[in-house]
Structure 1
Amino acid sequence: MTRPFRFGVVAPLMTDVPTWRDRARRIADHGYSTLLVPDFPLTQPAPAPMLATVAAVTDLRVGAWVYASPFRPAWLTAWEAHSLSLLTEGRFEMGIGTGRPGIEDELRDKRMPAVPPPHQRLADIRETVRSLRELDGPDHHTPVAMAVLGPKAQALAAEAADIVTFVLGEHPRAEVARLATDFRAKADVELALAVPVIGDTVAPHMARPDTDTAALHAADAMTVLPDDPAAAIDEIQRRRDEMGFSYFIFGADFADRFAPVVEALTGR
C-alpha cells in the first residue's frame, strides 16, 4: 500500500526557550506533521516536558526520536509514553531504539549500569512495548516507532511497531532498497526515513558533527537530500516509489527552507 507523505522535524533546544517555542509554531504553520526531540540526557531537557510544551502551544504531533532504551527501565518509558499519549489526546509517537554509538561512555559518565548486550536491549524494548500496550488498554493505541537494522531488531519491529526507520549511514541506494522491500514483505507499517544531511549540512543530534558528508554523497546514501527544494521533491517521490518511504524527517535548521516540500507533498 502506498501511504501518503508526511514530514517531521527533529528540533533540539539549541537556543533560549521562547525562540525554540517560536520555531515550533513556525514548524506547525508550515504544515509539518510531527515535532520530534532527541534523547540526549543533560545536553537537552528531558523529552517529556519538551514534547508536552510543544503539544500545548501547537496542534503538531510530537515524538521522541528516539528513546535510548538503556537509559531507563522499560516500565518507566512505557508509563511516560502512555502519559504523553493521553495528555496530547493521541498526538504522541513513541520512538525507541537500542542506543546510539558511544552510549557506553554516556552511561559511564552518568554512573549508570553498563550497556546490556544486544539481545537484552531488544528484550527491554519488547517489554517496553508490552507494558505500553497494557497501559493503553483496548481503547487507546500509542504509535510505536522503532529504529532498527539487524535481522533480530527487524523481526521485533515487524511484530511490535507502527512506524519503522532503519539505522543508516553510508548504505547505498540499492542496499536500502533491498532492506525496505524485504521489510515491507514482512509487515504493513509506515516506513520513515531520517535525513540528517541536507546538502553538506549535518543536523544537530541527528548524526555525528564530524559526519563525512562527501562520503555520503559519493555512496548515494539515503541519509542525504539535495538542499534545493525542487530537487528534494523529486528525490523524495523517487524514494517512496522505489522503496516505500513516506514519512521523511529533517533537522530543524531546514524546516523553513523545506516548507515548499511539505506544501507540495503532504497528504499526496
Structure 2
Amino acid sequence: MPTRPFRFGVSMPATGSRSAWQAKARQAEGLGYDVLQVPDHLDAPAPFPALVSAADATTTLRLGTLVLNAAFYRPALLARDIADTDLLTDGRLEVGLGAGHAAAEFRAAELPYPAAAERVDNLAHTVAELRRMFATPDQPPTLHGRTVPPLLLAGLGDRALRLAAREADIVGFPVMALTTPPGADPQQILADRVAHVRAEAGARFGALELNLFVAAVIPTPTAEALTRVRRRAPNLTEDQVLRLPNVLAGPVPRIAETLHRYRETYGLSYFSVREPHMTDFAKVIAHLR
C-alpha cells in the first residue's frame, strides 16, 4: 500500500470582525496548512458561516468542521447546510461529525442528554440519512451535489470507531488525555484503537485517512508547559503526558520524526492542531515538506 501524503489542519473558532477572521484564515494558508477546521460549541461562532467567510479570503485552503455535534442537527437541515456550504466554498468543504459529549451544552440547547449508546445511534442515523439524501438530490431537501463531501467521523469508543471504520472517509482520533487511565501506556491505547478500526474496516482500511487531533505542541518541554497540559489530566504522570500521542514535545526535527513514525506504525497521516500551536507547528510542516 503506497504511503499516504501528510495533511495538516488547524482548528480555530471564528473570532472578532470579518476582516480579523479572514486574516487568520489567510495566515493559516500562508503557513502551509491544508485545512482550516472550525469546532462546534454553543459558546463559539456558528461553523458554516465562518467557513464560507474563510473561503472568500483563501484559494487552496480546505474548510472543515472538527466536529459538528450531530445531536444538534436534524439530518435534512444538516444536509441543506452542508450542500450550500460546499457550493459556496467551491467544493472545499470537509464535514467532521461526532456524537456529542458535553452535557452542559445539551442543557443549554434545551435538548435531552442521552446515554452514550443513544448518541452513537443518533450519529449513525445522521450519517445514513446524509448518504441517502445526497444520493437522491431530486427529493427534498434540494441538494446541489450528488455526493457528501469528505466525511470525518471522530471517536475513541468501540461503537463510534466501528461506525467510522465502515462509513467515514477520514477517521478522527480526538484528545486522549481524558480517557487514559492512570498507569496505562497512551501509545498502546492508540495502537489498540487503530487496530480496532483496521479490523472493523476490513478491505476498505487502505482507503481511510487517519487523523490525530494534537492537544499541544511543546518545543521546549519545561515544567510550566507540562503543567498546562496536565491541568486536563491531573491523574497522569509527567512521563504519561509526554507519551500521549496528542502531545508533541521537543525540537522540530524530533517532532517531524515522531510524525513519520506515527504514519509508518499506525497509518496516521493527517494531523490537526489547536490555534495556539499554529505557529510552532508550522515549523514542523515546513520541515516535512
Cα distance change of structure 1 residues 5 and 105 upon mapping to structure 2, 3 Å threshold: same
Q: Give RMSD over aligned pairs.
A: 2.5
Which residue of structure 1 aligns with residue 169 of structure 2?
Answer: 162
Once the two structures are superposed, what CA deviation does each residue of 1:4-62 show, in whole Å capped at 9, x if it has no partner? Answer: 10000001234544233212101111221100011011x21100000111111112111
Q: Which runs of 5+ in 2 are unaligned?
A: 137-145, 181-185
**Percent same amino acid among aligned pairs?**
33
1:78/1:129 contact within 8 Å kept: no
Deviation at 1:117, TM superposition (A): 2.4
Could you tell me the TM-score, scaled by structure 2's length?
Answer: 0.80
Q: Distance in 1 between matches of 2:261 and 2:77?
A: 40
Q: Map of 1:175-194 to 2, 5 A cutoff? A: 175-187=189-201, 188=205, 189-194=208-213
Deviation at 1:216, TM superposition (A): 6.9
Once the two structures are superposed, what CA deviation does each residue of 1:144-197 show, in whole Å capped at 9, x if it has no partner? Answer: 111112221122112211111123423411221122133124322111000011
Q: Which has the higher contact order (CA 8 A, sep 6+)?
A: 1
Deviation at 1:75, TM superposition (A): 2.5
Which residue of structure 2 aligns with residue 234 of structure 1?
Answer: 257
Deviation at 1:209, TM superposition (A): 9.6
Cα distance change of structure 1 residues 260 and 167 upon mapping to structure 2, 3 Å threshold: closer
Cα distance change of structure 1 residues 230 and 20 upon mapping to structure 2, 3 Å threshold: farther
Q: Which runs of 5+ in 1 are unaligned?
A: none
Q: Distance in 2 between matches of 1:74 and 1:217?
A: 43
Q: Distance in 2 between matches of 1:89 and 1:11?
A: 21
1:81/1:132 contact within 8 Å kept: no
Q: Map of 1:120-135 to 2, 5 A cutoff? A: 120-135=118-133
> 119-128 or 86-95, which moves further after superposition?
119-128
Which residue of structure 1 aligns with residue 56 of structure 2?
Answer: 56
Which of structures 1 and 2 has the bigger CA Rg? Answer: 2
Match of 2:160 among 153, 165, 169: 153
Q: Distance in 1 between matches of 2:250 and 2:84?
A: 37
Aligned length: 258
Q: Which amino acid aligns with 2:189?
A: E
Secondary structure at the counterpart of residue 280 of structure 2:
coil
Which residue of structure 1 aligns with residue 80 of structure 2?
Answer: 79
Secondary structure at the counterpart of residue 129 of structure 1:
helix
1:136/1:142 contact within 8 Å kept: no
2:93/2:149 contact within 8 Å kept: yes
1:6/1:262 contact within 8 Å kept: no
2:25/2:58 contact within 8 Å kept: yes
Could you tell me the TM-score, scaled by structure 1's length?
Answer: 0.86
Cα distance change of structure 1 residues 160 and 166 upon mapping to structure 2, 3 Å threshold: same
